[in-house]
Amino acid sequence: MNSPTTSEVVTLPRVIVSGLSGGAGKTLVSLGLCRAWARAGSIVQPFKKGPDYIDAAWLAIASRNPATNLDPFLFPRTSLLSLFFHASKGRDIAVIEGNRGLFDGKDEDGSASTAELARQLRCPLVLVMDITKMTRTAAAVVAGVKAFEKDLPLAGVILNRVAGERHKSLATRCIERDTGVPVLGALPKIPDNPIPERHMGLVGDRDLSSAEAILDRLADIVEEHCDVQRIREAAEAADPMEKPAEPFFLESEPAGSKVRIGVVKDEAFWFYYPENLKALELAGARLVEVDLLRTADWPDLHGLYIGGGFPELKAQELASNNTIRQRVRALAEMELPIYAECGGFMYLCRSLVVDGQEFPMAGVFPVRTELCVKPQGLGYVEGTVVAANPFHPEGSTIIGHEFHYSVCSAADGSVLNFALKMNRGQGILAGLDGLVYKNTWASYTHIHVVGEPQWAARFVAAAIEYRRAIERKPAGRSV
């Protein structure tokens, strides 16, 4: 990855959909717009603001194009702009779904908020408002939003949970008369949530056979109750932007024989940023999908990447697959470079407790994890690397995010080697994260390669060294 410079000025239709808070309806509107424009023939590029896998998966299905995360906290500004243009190349329009409330960020100044992202991208913003039992007060809210940050590119509002035609008409007149902000839609109260939910937000796409029908229904709702053409016109009126002169990714891949890195993708583990996988490939890896739920032969691997997901939903199947659990544990003992995040970390522990039932896991670390009802770690994290490991230089600072419902306890008498001292966030135990055993790293912290640009090269370098070590040994039985 290169540090981009700006030069060419280009026009790219784009719109951000935000809300006053979580649950305002921005996901419904974002998905509905993506699907409506995609099925009308437009090439739509979806983005999700912030560190989110699940919403991004839905946006990808809705638009029929891979979704990209944009995060002003995790990404340097120039890298964020470069990634935005890289993902938008050849697209007709970009739809960016915000997160949380419009001005909510990592601190009291709203740093890294959706509003900040709108300014960085010079992007028209549509605000979705829940106006339950509210009419003229809605105008006061819009006036406050408009005045709170003077340079906010507010293009219009969409009313949500409107009780009826009179409610819609009165609220619209108040907002447009008293604030000058156009009302671009009014969604009725929908008795049944068209999008299934789970404890971490939207349900994953891998276990949802009815996704297409759900998304078509959302598009129908948005087209019926919103002025989709006016929203499109607002997106097309976005100011021209300076395009980074250099591509986000290097255009040529390293020469030579590639190392094989297994990427776990199954119904339990599927949280991966596409840029992380692409960066591994460009650093010299050939990615091979493997599965922890089914007993099948794996190719000889030189590295293993276990992302996050929902291992608690497949705990019985994971525990029953003793062959794969033993295989992963043996690979860790053989010093295969293994990088595991959140759900992947939980799998590498000794056991996982769900609803009072304990399930054996891979047993690389003498740690017991237990699922709780409420989140135990949520938000951005920063930490200092305090121990040697193959993936992150000792003494460096890591930025990332965590979102987990589990707590951990170490086995009696066990010695744990933590490599990450948390300066912000919860981690695994006592403000520490990043368990290391031989060449295995396991953490609750998720990283994005845009914010940690050396990670992929170090992972591949460790895989190359592992392959060399294996080649120096006498031939033996594969694991």
- List the one residue out of 332, 468, 330, 305 whose CA is nearest residue 391: 305
**Tokens found for residue 106:** 């990592």
Specify the 3-state DSSP secondary structure of 422. strand
Amino acid identity of residue 105, one-letter, is G
27, 55 in Cβ contact below 8 A?
Answer: yes
- Exposed/middle/buried for residue 132 (C-beta within 10 Å: 0-12, 13-18, 19+): exposed
> Do the bridges between strand 44-49 and strand 93-101 make them parallel or antiparallel, or are there none, so unpaired?
parallel
State yes or no: is 123 an active-site residue: no
Alpha-carbon span 403 to 21, nearest angstrom: 18
- List the one residue out of 52, 17, 11, 50 whose CA is nearest residue 34: 17
- List the one residue out of 252, 408, 420, 267 whose CA is nearest residue 339: 420
Give the CA distances from residue 405 to residues 264, 298, 346, 408, in Å, rounded to whole numbers and listed in that order.
Answer: 21, 31, 11, 10
Amino acid identity of residue 54, one-letter, is I
b/e per residue 185-222 (b: at least 16 CB within 10 A): bbbbeeeeeebeeeebbbbbeeebeebeebbebbbebb
Alpha-carbon span 305 to 307, nearest angstrom: 6
Catalytic residue from among 123, 226, 342, 408: 342
Q: How many CB atoms lie within 10 A of CB 61?
A: 20
Q: Under 8 Å CB-to-CB from 424, ≥6 apart: which residues?
A: 380, 381, 382, 383
Q: How many CB atoms lie within 10 A of CB 228?
A: 19
Q: Under 8 Å CB-to-CB from 318, ≥6 apart: which residues?
A: 268, 292, 293, 311, 325, 347, 352, 359, 361
Amino acid identity of residue 326, one-letter, is Q
Alpha-carbon span 466 to 377, nearest angstrom: 33
Alpha-carbon span 61 to 275, nearest angstrom: 18
DSSP per-residue letters across 237-305: TPPPEEEESS-SS-SSPPPSPPEEEEEE-SSSEEE--HHHHHHHHHHTEEEEEE-SSS-------SEEE
Q: Strand pairing partners for 126? A: 17, 156
304, 280 in Cβ contact below 8 A?
Answer: no
Residues labelled as active-site residues? 342
